[in-house]
Structure 1
Amino acid sequence: MSGRTRKDGPFPHDLRNLLTTISTVLPQSLPKTAAYLLPAASITALGHPNLLGPLFTDVLAFLPERSSKKISLQLRDVLLKQWTLIGIPLVVTAVSSLASAEKASGIEFPSGLSSKYSKDDSLAPSEAISNRGEKFMRKLYQSNLEPILSTWGSHEADFTWLEKSVIYGLFLSDHEVLSEVETELVIMSSIMAQGLKGPTLWHVRGLRRLGISKKDVEEAIKIVVECARYLGHGDKDWVSWVAEVDGEV
């Protein structure tokens, strides 16, 4: 272990060793991109957004066969989805860290607004966008959706609109860059890293409903736990949560 010091503090080993550990436990049923998407989402949600840039640099060294541009766009999409889950301050800090690492790498990426956002109506919560959001929500939540929405009382209508039209409609149901499974891994790890058990279980269940086995969901969670341990957050008993949705898949 190198004892390398990062900008946001010393850690017992560098991110390439963390990536090596992750690669040994990553289930074959999960996309290979999960090897860096899970730690990217986890370290940002755990409150260490300045590590996203170093992670990008180490991923390029660890996986030299992968396109740096594609990895950059995938990490961008993680953050575009994460702001709805963990908040803007962490996300914009992570964006700056990523941009700094990209500049230091000497690799130039095209600037400008993504094509999907450059259309005049692309950010309007239209019926089509809302329907896309609701479709993905129902795929993940199924019969659990209405009982969850009903807990919001007099606020239900406004927050249902927010979920269907904005959070899911515009962002989480957009699978142009990240697939359904990749997106759900980002959602689950982002919420789990905050220690929020109830919403985490919704997305543990969602991963199972997307065809990921119980064992492989547990292995994915072990990666989030390993990230927490790496960052000094101690051992977390998050893997045990998976069994709590066994009869609901």
Structure 2
Amino acid sequence: MASVPAAKDEVECPPDRTTEEALALFRDIEESFPKSLGEDKWYLIILATLTYGPNPSHIADLYKYLISLPQYSTPASRQALIKRIREGLLKLVSIIGVCKPLLAIWAIGEIEQEEDKDFSCSREGWQADEKNLERGKEWLGKIYRHNMKGNDDKFVAHKDFGWISYNITYGLYLSDHSILDPIETEIIVLGGILIQNLPTVSNFHLRGARRLGISMEDVEAMQVCSEKIAKFCRLRMDKLPRVADIEHEVPWENDMKA
């Protein structure tokens, strides 16, 4: 018997993914994310990529899945968890904009128990001062190294964007490692960029991840995880380089001596 073709609107506007499909994705990423990066980092790649997807409420499904695990069985452990999730979403504001991270944290807030809430503010008292600027420059330097001059040249006639990059994107958001460490921060950044299918900045951060000491194999595994999440979100990731394509750009010592 011939199959019945899907209705046109179902092809163009397929139904939302179900919670069961989301849970299957979480288990797959938990299993396939490189263990050499640490047992508590796998969900960061999901957080970074799934938040950009069409339904940020799936972040609430991720939160529910996480707090069902034994390591998050106490209020204290769940408070520590939400601080990490919140910090990841905060960093994503600089990568994908504010609206989707905001909807994601609100979705978690709808199901969060009172005893599990953390009322701290990580950026309380922050100042756009010289110390903040120097921290931003230092972290930019670790990611871009000798490539920074090429980037800075692009800002000569667009100084507002240079100011934002140093003071806000890196100074305020990405160089603060008080909650998420440098590797965890780069997992968030790389995932948040890859899911947008942006080849140039993906190149920058595939290279940056390697410069922070993440192995080629682990960077490739993170990209594969991102592709699985993109498929779940019905988003394309077909324009991007692989880590093997940029490996020749990673070393900087010889360039610095030249």
The two structures have a TM-score, normalised by structure 2, of 0.83
Confirm or deny: 8 A CA contact 1:225 1:238 kept in the other structure: no
Give the corresponding residue for 2:144: 141
The answer to whether structure 1 residue 154 and structure 2 residue 157 are counterparts is: yes
In 2, the alpha carbon distance for the partners of 1:240 and 1:228 equals 16
In 2, the alpha carbon distance for the partners of 1:110 and 1:74 equals 11
Rg (Cα) greater in structure: 2
Judging changes above 3 Å, is the alpha-carbon distance between structure 1 residues 215 and 22 closer, same or farther for their aligned structure 2 residues? same
Judging changes above 3 Å, is the alpha-carbon distance between structure 1 residues 239 and 222 closer, same or farther for their aligned structure 2 residues? farther
Give the corresponding residue for 2:249: 248
Give the corresponding residue for 2:106: 96
Structure 2's unaligned 5+ residue stretches are 1-14, 251-258
Give the corresponding residue for 1:21: 28
What SS does structure 2 have at the residue aligned with 1:48? coil
Deviation at 1:237, TM superposition (A): 4.3
What SS does structure 2 have at the residue aligned with 1:65? helix
After TM superposition, the structure 1 = structure 2 runs for residues 109-188 of structure 1, keeping only pairs within 5 Å, are 109-111=117-119, 113-114=120-121, 116-119=122-125, 122=126, 124-155=127-158, 157-188=159-190
The answer to whether structure 1 residue 64 and structure 2 residue 64 are counterparts is: no
Q: What's the % identity of the aligned pairs?
A: 28
Confirm or deny: 8 A CA contact 1:218 1:239 kept in the other structure: no
Structure 1's unaligned 5+ residue stretches are 1-7
| 1:190 partner amino acid | G
| 2:22 partner amino acid | L
In 2, the alpha carbon distance for the partners of 1:150 and 1:47 equals 35
1:167-195: CA deviations, max 9, x gaps? 10011000011010100010011011111
| 1:45 partner amino acid | Y
Deviation at 1:196, TM superposition (A): 0.8
The two structures have a TM-score, normalised by structure 1, of 0.86
Deviation at 1:240, TM superposition (A): 4.9
Deviation at 1:57, TM superposition (A): 0.4
Aligned length: 232
Judging changes above 3 Å, is the alpha-carbon distance between structure 1 residues 174 and 12 closer, same or farther for their aligned structure 2 residues? closer
In 2, the alpha carbon distance for the partners of 1:31 and 1:83 equals 25
In 1, the alpha carbon distance for the partners of 2:20 and 2:239 equals 23
Confirm or deny: 8 A CA contact 1:136 1:173 kept in the other structure: yes
